[in-house]
Structures are given as C-alpha cells and as structure tokens.
A and B are shown apart, each in its own frame.
Chain A
Amino acid sequence: MEWTNTIVQGVLTGGLYAMFAAGLSLIFGVMRLVNIAHGDFIVLAAYLALVVTETLGIGPLPSLLIVVPLMAAIGYALQRGLLNRTLGDDLLPPLLVTFGLSIIIQNGLLELFTADSRRLQAGALEVATWQVTPGLSIGLLPLLQFVAAVAVIGGLQELFYRTAFGRAFRATSDDPAVAQLMGLDNRHVFALAMALSLAVVGLAGVLLAVRANFDPAIGPARLIFGFEAVIIGGLGNLWGTLAGGIALGVAQAIGAKLDPGWQLLAGHLTFLAVLGARPEGLFPRIRG
C-alpha cells in the first residue's frame, strides 16, 4: 500500500511536469525554438501570483484570471519584440537570447524579492484530501493539478488539430515560407504560439507555487523536468508528453522513497536510459 501511495503521488506530480513540458513542446513544434528561460518564466508567474494575491487579497485560484492573461501578453510582446529576430538557420541566437533572459529574470527576481523561499497560501484546499481506500488518500490539490494538466494537454490537442488557429500553427511549423505565401503572418503566428506557451506556463507556475516553496533560483530545474518529459514521451506528441511527465514523476517518487538523495537522480537516469534505449521517445509522433 505504501508503494501504491508513492506511485500515485508520482503520477500526480507528473501531471505538473507534463504542463511544464507542454509549453516547451508547443513553441519548439511551431518555430523550432527552445526557450532556455522557460523554467524562469514559471517562477516569474509564481511571483506574479504572489504579488496579485497579496495586493488584492484574493486566493491563488482567482489570481489565475490575472496571471494567465498577463503571462500571455508578456509572451506575445517578447516574441514580437525580441525572439522573432533570433529565428533562422543558426541555432545559437535563440539559445543565447533565452539564456540571457533566464539570467535577467533570475537576478531581477533576486533583486526584487531576495533569495528567501516563498509559498502561495491556498487555505483549506492545501490540506483537503480524498480518502480512496483506507491507507491511500489523495490530496485534493495534487489531484486538481493533475486534472488541470490533462485538461491543458487535451485542450492543446483539440486546438492543434481542430481549429483554424491550430492549422496556422501546423502550417507554419511544416513550411514557414509557404505558410507566409498563403497569407499567414508568421511573426503574428509565432507570437500567438509564445503567448499560448506562456499562458500554460502561468497556470503551471501558480499551481507549482501553491504546492511547493519557490525562490528565484529554481527555474532551470523546472526547465529540465519539462524537457525530460518531452524527450521521454517522444517529440511532437502531446499525449506522449503527459506519459513522459508521469514516467518522470513516478521515477522521482520511487527514487525518493529509496533514498531522499536519489529523487532527482532517479528522474535524470530514467531520462538517460530512455535516450539510450529509445532516442525517439516512448511514443514518437504519429503523423496525421
């Protein structure tokens, strides 16, 4: 029973990792850009939520109504103003510019909020649990996170394959030059993709901040978790990414159970093992 509990917790944490991964995977899919500052944007969203909840006196969940649109706006402006200039054949400019952003966000937050650990208070929701069977209880908050992750992945999947929006994303991803000829404004499409990515990041950041302590330096580790979930699940497959996040969460939970020092190591080693045995990921993309 103890092990069942460990695995259930791992699965639920995995949902959060899949949400980190979804935003990363989305912009890579559309414009072949890896945002090194992805994790730092998650932390930025957490601090935004902190400011919003403290100034307006509202709870973390209502704060999403402000944080998510704000992050989307930041994403759109960032892509239009800065990142569109970095796109091209050379992979160094986007990498270096987002690396620079990562350093800027980390040190900006450090300057504004100091290195102290913070946490969002969610009141009764924090401790509410659901007793599944005697000995196995699930926290309502982790469950909510997991459901949110599934909803985000499902929503993105729908958006990608069922809407005009998604068609524009896929067309630009397949051939930016032809997409432009067909009347799409690539700069706008890319900016929308980044806005969507940072909206997901906003949601993930607030959910992370309710569940765990955060400080300005924890961003890069979130980037790495998201990245590992993408690669384990298989590039370009959103449901695969969810599976990848779950695999990573379970591996970390089992590692932590064996020895607290092994939590992160177990996750990284699982990633390296998948990379060694199945470099295309567990669920590679199915074209269609």
Chain B
Amino acid sequence: MSAATFHVRFTDRRSAIGLAAFAAALVALACAPWWAGRDDLYLLEQIFAYVALASLWNLLAGYAGLVSVGQQAYVGLGAYLLFGLTIFADVPPLWAIPLAGLIGALAAIPVAALVFRLRGHYFAIGTWVVAEVFRLLASQVAALGGGSGTSLPASIVIAIAPSRTMREFVVYWIALALAVAILGLILLLLRSRYGLALTAIRDNELAARSNGVDVARVKFVVYVFTACGTAMVGALIFLQKLRISPDAAFSVNDWTAFVIFITVIGGIGRLEGPIVGTIVFFALRQALADLGALYLLMLGAVAIVVMLWAPKGIWGVIVERLDWQIFPLQRRVVFAPPADNIARSKT
C-alpha cells in the first residue's frame, strides 16, 4: 500500500478557464500602450494601484482578521521614501520602489509590536493613530516641503526614461507588473501552509488556535508582508503623481476608506473580490464623477447596503449562484492514487 491514497488538487476545469481568461486579459493589458490613449493608460494605472491595495487589505482583514483603517501609513511612507531616497540618496527612481517596500516592512515590525496590543475595533483605530503620527512626522520634514509638500525634481523624472511617452509606458508597465506580482504572491501565500492557516483563522480563529495554528505569528507575517506591498504601491502612485504632500500621501479616504469599500463591495475574503470591486468602483466613479461630494455619499451608502444584505459581496454572490472561480485556490481532496502509484503497485 503506497502512502498516497489521496492527493490535494487546486486546479479544475473552471479555474483553468478562469486562469486562461485572466492570462489573455493580462496580455491585452500589457499591450495597452499600443492601443490605449494617454488618459486611458493613466486610468488603468490607477485601477492597478487600487487592485493591489485592495488585495493587500483583503489579505489583512479578510483572511488574517486584522481590520486596519491605517494602511495609509504605508502608502504615505512608501511615497515619502520614494521622494527622500531619490532626492537625498540619489537612488534611481525605479530602485526606490522595492527599497521603499523593504523599509516599509522594517517599519511595520515595531508598529505591529505596539498595535497588536489592541484587540478588534480598537486595533483598527490604533492603526489610524499610527498613520496620523506618520503624517505629522512627514509634515515636519522641512526638506520635503513640510506641510505643503514638494514636487519630484525634473532631473529625477528624466532618470525614469528620457522621453515623456516612454516614461509613461515604463510607469504603466511597472504598475501592471506590481499589481500582478502582488496578486501572484498572495496566491502563492494562500496556497502554502500559511494559506491553510489563514483560511482557518478567517473561518474560526479559536478553532484554528486549538488545531495548533500559531495565530499571532501568522498575523504578524501577514501584517509585515502587507506593509511591504502597500509601501511599494504608495511609492508607485506618487511616481505617477510626481507631487507629494502629507495630506495627499496619508489620506484616510483615498487609501483606506475607498480600499475598504472596494473590497467589501467586490467580496471580502476572496482573491477575486478586490478585482471585481475595483472595476465597479471605477465604473461608478466615471459615471458619477460630476456629483462630487454626493458621489462619495452614495459610495458610503452602497457599501453599507452590501455589508448588511450581501456581506460576501458581488463575487460571493457569483460563487454561490454559479460556483465560478478564477484563481486556483480551492483545495479538493482526490481519493484515487495518482497514476504513477498504480503503475508502481502493480509491479
């Protein structure tokens, strides 16, 4: 009798079709500089940034149960690191992005040690206080314009690529690559042992703990990983904007409220949710942009309605009704010995 009388399979026909469609969409998006105009490229870059931010927040809140409302701390930190590293340390702008991620992760370690002392809702507001501290510290940096902020010097902008068109293409591809890399890493993380632990924590923290999951450790790893990714996205967003100020870089509405609404509307606790939510968010924004403050008011109302009447979000409803999945995440136990095992047991 061979040891493996069953094995665990991730992929099936549905996820194979889903992944193929996803790959085709990626190829089309990678070619966007040849078929899309300047405004479309800028819009797509923003969409990629929000997909990345929402996926990271989804990992943090949807899987690890760490409902943070202070992720703007890392967006702003990444943005300020981009400006600081390129202006004062002559780091090439494209290298500043991974470096910002690394420093963001390092900064998250002491922050985690503090805010992990707070539970549940108080954890949420604690992370917000940390973000406020980061914002106030950033406005004390006189060399980067203090409270009013500064622009990225032309010499550094030119270092990305000499011509404006090429620069836009490069930033676009980096935005796409970063979003895909973050999605890919989250997928790998969720398929690893950590993923099993995270799914267990998502479903029932107490049960996970009693089954031997080191909950505190898993949460810490996820918090630091998320900080790293969020700081990189922050650096990228402000590489597009080329101008920084503490209020813009540490905005709770832009980098946390919208991200939470996107994740909840799309479907929290599922990898596809943030992608669906971002598409809905931008579609609403394009349609209702003229309404100004009323648009945000409606967004808040939609998020409340979804949370109360469809808490699994749009993708959750799709999964329940149609049983689709794009990303091969669902584990299926197959109770037949793999083909090579049969062959071996016959000899």
Chain A residues packing against B (C-beta within 8 Å): 28, 32-34, 36, 82, 85-86, 91-97, 99-104, 106-108, 110-111, 220-221, 223-224, 227-228, 231, 261, 264-265, 268-269, 271-272, 275-276, 279
Contacts and interface: CB of A to CB of B under 8 A. Distances in A.
Interface of B: 61, 67, 69, 114, 117-118, 120-122, 124-126, 128-130, 132-133, 136-137, 139-140, 147, 252-253, 257, 260-261, 264, 268, 292-294, 296-297, 299-301, 303-304, 307-308, 311
Given A93-B307, A224-B125, A268 B133 contact: yes
Q: Interface centre among B61, B126, B129, B308, by most A CB within 10 Å?
A: B129
Given A96-B264, A107-B297, A111-B297, A91 B129 contact: no
A272 B133 contact: yes
A104 B137 CA distance: 29
B300 A95 contact: no
B137 A265 contact: yes
Contacts of A227: 122, 125, 129
A224 B129 CA distance: 7
10 contacts: A34-B121, A36-B69, A36-B125, A93-B307, A100-B300, A104-B297, A221-B132, A227-B122, A231-B118, A265-B136
Contact of B294 (A32, A85, A111, A275): A111
Given A92-B67, A107-B296, A220-B252, A100 B304 contact: yes
B296 A103 contact: yes
Contacts of B140: 261, 265
Contacts of A94: 121
Contacts of A279: 117-118
B92 to A, nearest CB: 32
| Closest 3 A/B residue pairs (Cβ) | A34-B121, A103-B300, A100-B300
Contacts of A221: 132
Given A34-B122, A268-B136, 17 more contacts: A85-B308, A86-B308, A92-B307, A97-B307, A97-B308, A99-B303, A101-B304, A103-B296, A103-B299, A104-B297, A107-B297, A111-B292, A111-B293, A220-B252, A261-B140, A261-B147, A279-B118
Nearest to B304: A100
Majority DSSP secondary structure for residues of A touching B: helix
B301 A28 contact: no
B297 A108 contact: yes
Contact of A104 (B124, B139, B301, B307): B301
Contact of A99 (B69, B117, B268): B69
Contacts of A271: 129
Given A100-B304, A228-B129, A272 B114 contact: yes
Given A91-B67, A103-B257, A220-B252, A264 B136 contact: yes
Nearest to A228: B129
Contacts of A269: 133
A229 to B, nearest CB: 12
Contact of A28 (B69, B121, B128, B304): B121
Nearest to A33: B121
Nearest to B134: A268
Contacts of A220: 128, 252
A41 to B, nearest CB: 15
Nearest to A276: B114
Q: Interface centre among B133, B261, B304, by most A CB within 10 Å?
A: B304
Contacts of A224: 125, 128-129, 132
Given A86-B308, A96-B307, A100-B301, A91 B118 contact: no
A95 B132 contact: no
A32 B124 CA distance: 13
Contacts of B300: 99-104, 107
A218 B1 CA distance: 70
A218 to B, nearest CB: 13
A220 B128 CA distance: 10
Contacts of A107: 293-294, 296-297, 300
Nearest to B268: A92
A93 B61 CA distance: 12
A136 B303 CA distance: 51
Contact of B132 (A33, A93, A99, A264): A264
Contacts of A101: 300, 304
A86 B125 CA distance: 18
B203 to A, nearest CB: 11
Contacts of A99: 69, 257, 260, 300, 303
A223 B252 CA distance: 13
